[in-house]
Structure 1
Amino acid sequence: MTLPAPVAKGRGADRVLGLALLGLSVFTAVTALGLEVPFSYDPVGPKAFPLGLSILLGLLALVLVLRPGEDGHWPDARLAMKLASVLALLLVYALLFPRLGYLGSSLITIIGLARLFEASWPKAIATGVAMALITLWLFTQGLGIGLPDGTWLSALGG
């Protein structure tokens, strides 16, 4: 009896991922260069952080393209569905963010991610509440960054 060969074993997966990440880094850099704020207390401005991250991502993506690992392989169908679900949850987060604000959209997304990785409902909810509140506090109190409340409060009359 022979075992089936692994699917797409080789360097192709690393190179495809590297090219996708390189494209993402270029998109992020172009978007960052277009950021303009009429006035800011920060002398560096809003471009520095995303531009720095895009440069770092681009360099690391080039490593994957030019020097892929030996063990690269495509994920099986179950893992691929989980990864696609994470991406879908992050897209939902981006769509909910303006409407629900930081706290609401983060709470929903963290609970969804916890459930996706098989946490029980009580653990997922506890994790979502704790992480959303702690990160909100870290941003607002620790870093002094104001986060949006969302438009749902105004719809409730708040």
Structure 2
Amino acid sequence: MSGAADRVLSILLLGLAAFIAVQASQLDVPFSYDPVGPKAFPMLLSGILALLSVILFFRPGQGGKWPRGALLLRLLGVLVLLGLYAWFFTLAGYLITTAITVAVLAWLFNSGPAKAVISGVLLSIGSYLLFTFALGITLPWGAWLTSLA
């Protein structure tokens, strides 16, 4: 990337940090089980992103090349896939959405189909167990399952 491209990227990332901060400030929970509350983590992340964006603006990189060809398509595929992950997260549920996303990501970066599926399933189940039992975080099962019940 050229210095100009780094500066454009830094401005876009600064806008993203502001968007995250505004969205986090609107989080309202009727009760708090944590003394810090649910706003702290996204606000901290937006602050770090804003700081790094400012640093990138004033100290751009030495140049480099924009990705082309197959790598560019893979990176665009990752962006689309992560957008779809966010879209289907509550509808399809954590386990299914995460398993499919991880499997497609592994496949995009040259994993074999069997390894991709195994990775997706194991990471989905393992992270679900970690979030649920070790951290006490409830993850969605999916709107389609709750509509069946």
TM range (shorter): over 0.9
Task: Give TM-score scaled by structure 1 length.
Answer: 0.88
C-alpha contact (below 8 Å) 1:10/1:71 kept by paired residues = yes
2: CA distance between counterparts of 1:130 and 1:15?
A: 40
- The one of 104, 115, 121 equivalent to 2:113 is 121
> Are residues 20 and 72 of structure 1, via their aligned partners in 2, closer, same or farther at CA, if it must alter by over 3 Å?
farther
Instruction: Indicate which of 137, 151, 158 corresponds to 2:129.
Output: 137
TM-score normalized by structure 2?
A: 0.93
How many residue pairs get matched? Answer: 149
Instruction: Choose 1 or 2 for highest CA Rg.
Output: 1
Q: Structure 1, unaligned stretches of length 5 or more?
A: 1-8
**Aligned twin of 2:81:** 89
What is the identity, as a one-letter code, of the residue corresponding to 1:56? I
Deviation at 1:42, TM superposition (A): 0.9
Partner of 1:49: 41
Query: How do residues 95-106 of structure 1 correspond to structure 2 at under 5 angstroms?
Result: 95-106=87-98
* Farther off after superposition, 18-27 or 52-61: 18-27
| Distance in 1, Cα, partners of 2:12 & 2:42 | 17
Of 77-86 and 20-29, deviating more is 77-86
What stretches of structure 2 of length at least 5 have no aligned partner? none
Superimposed CA distance per residue, residues 70-120 of structure 1 (whole angstroms, 9 cap, x where no aligned partner): 124322243222211111001111111111111111111111111111111
User: Please, what is the CA RMSD of the aligned residues?
Assistant: 1.4
Matched, 1:11 2:16: no
Partner of residue 70, structure 2: 78
Task: For 1:83, give the aligned amino acid.
Answer: L
Q: Contact conserved, 1:106 with 1:132, CA < 8 A, in 2?
A: yes
Identity of aligned residues (%): 49
Structure with a larger share of its residues in helix: 2
